[in-house]
Chains A and B, each alone.
Chain A
Amino acid sequence: MTVLLFGASLLGFLAIGTPIAYALIISGIALMWQMGLFDGQIIAQNMINAANSFPMLAIPLFILAGEVMNAGGLSKRIIKLAQTLVGHRKGGLGYVVIFAGVLLSSLSGSALADAASLTALLLPMMISAGYRQGTSAGLVASASIIGPIIPPSIGFIVFGVATNLSISKLFLAGIVPGIIIALALCIAWSIVAYRDDLEVSARASWSERGKALVDGFWALMLPVIILVGLRFGIMTPTEAAAVAAVYSVFVSCVVYRELSLSHLSDLAFNAAKTSAAVMFLVAAAAIPAWMISIADIPDQIISLIEPVMDHPKLLVAVVVLLILLIGTAMDLTPTILLLAPILVPVVTNAGVDPIYFGVIFMITGAVGLITPPVGTVLNVVCSVGKLDFTALTRGVTPFLIAELLVLALIVMIPEIVQVPATWLSGK
């Protein structure tokens, strides 16, 4: 009943054209009313506290860095470099996106931050290079959900803490599936780009490549600074985002001299407004998430999957469908917090390796970030990339299918996860 009411009110208000953030708040209010907890404080508290988050602060800072890089000539030089290196291939920038997604995900633990920075940094390049907007943004969205799968991963930490599993084992187990997803995206992209018949540039000479590399040196240092800073524990992701912002301002204004201070205030305003729209959605989603915690919806669902307890692979498949279903409407962290503590004992009882299950859970939950109606990564890509939700949903579909195929493969052949995970943990 509660699930129906939540789904119906959310979908109903979305259908008549209500902004997604408001539809989320309204569906939360519908739940409040049904459960006899009608109180504005629940709305105000959950929204404001969701935004009052230091880790989330990485979003506006990375958006700012991206805006400054674009206007200040850094992105231009990276485009140039990428074009000289892989531009002669069909759909070269697409592979750059996937590669950057893997790199970023080894820097940050959150798909949202990855989505924000990938969109801000690479989407404008793709569009200016003539790629279709929806498909490009779809690739960006599907590449950014590698974020919580390749370590570090806030998702795995939450999962490990909530289920008392070794976080380092989860981290190590995530590396290979993350790379497999990237490869699957490459294949999907090659098919999409093949159909697209986009004009390719002539192969660049080595001296042109050398010149582009020298020219792009300052721009290329930025990911190096972030990578080294995070890998060696010099900075937290939020701090790395602030350093990225300051560095990109420095290079744009002082080194390349392509940006004036007055222009900078325009960029800051844009970045602030864009991240406000993103965070308003995050804040809005916190209300139904809180109500769903109270309503014990996960418990009701668990009782439904008892019959398949004797067949581990079937059980995992059923659970994956369940997480996918919930993931269509919920964010990754609440999905983990609500379902993981209940599901892990269930699947462990049935003989499934909990670390392997953790990886499956994370991939499934991450896929939920790019499924409508509520796909937080889709929302971020829409707001940051300033494009239409429907176009993005269409554009993401081929890559979503590729990721679901990887998921199905891993469900059928657990060794894909388990063998390298055991090997990487050294025993």
Chain B
Amino acid sequence: QEYRSHTIKFAATGQEGTPPVQGMHIFAKKLEDQSDGKIKVRVFSNGKLGGDVQVLSSLKGGVVEMMVWNAGNMISEVQDFGILDLPFIYQDPEVMDQLLDGDVGEKLTDQLPEHNVVGLAFWEQGFRLLTNDKREVKSLKDISGLKVRVQQNPLLVDMWEALGANATPMPVTELYTALETGAVDGQETTAPFIWGSKYYEVQKYVTVTRHNYNPQIVLIGKPFWDQLNADERDLLVKVARETAKEQRDISRKAQLEALDKIRDAGNVVTQISDEQRQAMLDAESPVINKYVETFDSDLVEEVFDAVGYQLN
């Protein structure tokens, strides 16, 4: 194999210690080892190289080489990626692994090169949970009227409004203070991020809603990709996918550990029943129907078959 010297700037907005960033470090080490020290990776966590949207644009322009972020966010480039943000239908991570490592993942990433990026692998950030400091959320009706900070994304805003919440988009940088002062009642993210961003300090109730599953997509900029030879490209894909296995294990363990730590810190952690999750899913069906029309129908069929969801 012919490997030449390269240095890759690998960026993410997550903090050190969160599963996606842990994956970046594993990837860096593996790649350096397997390329006999030729290909070096420098990890920039915590948004040091800019926000997600800025870094994605840097990848396309060849300024930064790699990044990892929520795969669903790629809806800004390729509409079909929005399917990954559909609420409540993804509950089994192993089914997701099969889909994303197989045909579905390929159908999605094949559309990326014309947008100047290449998808190497899917990692994960885990299931998103709802936190608030108003009341214990046990059922759909408890969500009604809660002011919840959501990500700035039409699908996600629609999804929360369908549950009866007042969806409030707000920059994540302002979220902690907003939760503390009560400008919003709650927010939604994964357990490791609730822990890492210390939202538990200003929230009382955590509900394990698992409303979204966040696969992460590992991206490489096309300008850099085009400079690589075939051996180097094969190695990058191989290492990114090897890392996926370890990273997903780490992430799944981290979800449980973070939840325990949040409980130990004094928050009330509530599991919801399957019936209640079904009720929430039912409430989402107008949203799912609306967005499914914007996705490739074969893709929708394949995904829905695999997760056992029927359109109604």
Contact = CB atoms under 8 A, between A and B. Distances in A.
User: Do A and B touch directly, given a CB cutoff of 8 Å in the complex?
Assistant: yes
Interface of A: 37, 39, 41-42, 45-46, 49, 53-55, 109, 152, 154, 157, 160-162, 164, 166-168, 230-236, 290, 293-294, 337-338, 341
A90 B180 CA distance: 40
Interface of B: 9, 15-17, 44, 46-51, 54, 57-58, 61-63, 170-171, 173-174, 176-178, 180-184, 196-198, 201-202
Given A41-B63, A45-B63, A233-B181, A167 B46 contact: no
Shortest beta-carbon contacts, A-B, top 8: A233-B181, A233-B182, A233-B183, A41-B61, A49-B54, A293-B48, A41-B63, A152-B177
Contacts of A164: 15, 17, 196
Contacts, number: 82
A97 B191 CA distance: 44
B170 A167 contact: no
A226 to B, nearest CB: 13
Contact of B183 (A53, A162, A236, A337): A236
A236 B174 contact: yes
Given A55-B173, A233-B178, A233-B184, 11 more contacts: A41-B58, A45-B61, A49-B50, A54-B174, A55-B171, A154-B173, A161-B197, A161-B198, A167-B201, A234-B183, A293-B49
Nearest to B60: A41
- In this complex, the member of B16, B198, B201 whose beta carbon has the largest number of chain A beta carbons within 10 angstroms is B198
B168 to A, nearest CB: 10
28 contacts: A39-B62, A41-B62, A45-B54, A45-B58, A46-B50, A54-B171, A55-B173, A55-B174, A109-B177, A152-B181, A160-B198, A161-B15, A161-B197, A164-B17, A166-B198, A167-B201, A232-B181, A232-B182, A233-B178, A233-B181, A233-B182, A236-B170, A236-B177, A236-B178, A293-B44, A294-B9, A337-B47, A337-B48
A235 B61 contact: no
Contacts of A55: 171, 173-174
Nearest to B58: A45
A283 B62 CA distance: 21
Taking chain A's interface residues, is the majority helix, strand, or loop, or is none over half, making it mixed?
helix
A37 B62 CA distance: 10
A167 B176 CA distance: 9
Contacts of A341: 16, 46
Contacts of A53: 171
A55 B46 CA distance: 18
A154 B174 CA distance: 8
A163 B244 CA distance: 27
A166 B266 CA distance: 14
A41 B57 CA distance: 10
A284 B23 CA distance: 33
Contacts of B54: 45, 49
Contacts of A46: 50
A166 B198 CA distance: 7
A154 B171 CA distance: 13
Contacts of B173: 55, 154, 157
- In this complex, the member of A46, A168, A231, A233 whose beta carbon has the largest number of chain B beta carbons within 10 angstroms is A233
Contact of A290 (B15, B50, B57, B170): B50
Contacts of B49: 290, 293-294
A168 B196 CA distance: 14
Contacts of A234: 183
Nearest to B15: A161
Contacts of A160: 198
A293 B183 CA distance: 33
Contacts of A49: 50-51, 54
Contacts of A109: 177
Contacts of B46: 161-162, 337, 341
Nearest to B202: A168
Contacts of B196: 161, 164
B183 A235 contact: yes
A167 B198 contact: yes
Nearest to A44: B61
A232 B174 CA distance: 15
A205 B146 CA distance: 52
Contacts of B51: 49
A294 B201 CA distance: 33
A241 to B, nearest CB: 13
Nearest to A165: B198
- In this complex, the member of B176, B196, B202 whose beta carbon has the largest number of chain A beta carbons within 10 angstroms is B176
Nearest to A167: B198
Contacts of B48: 293, 337-338
A55 B16 CA distance: 24
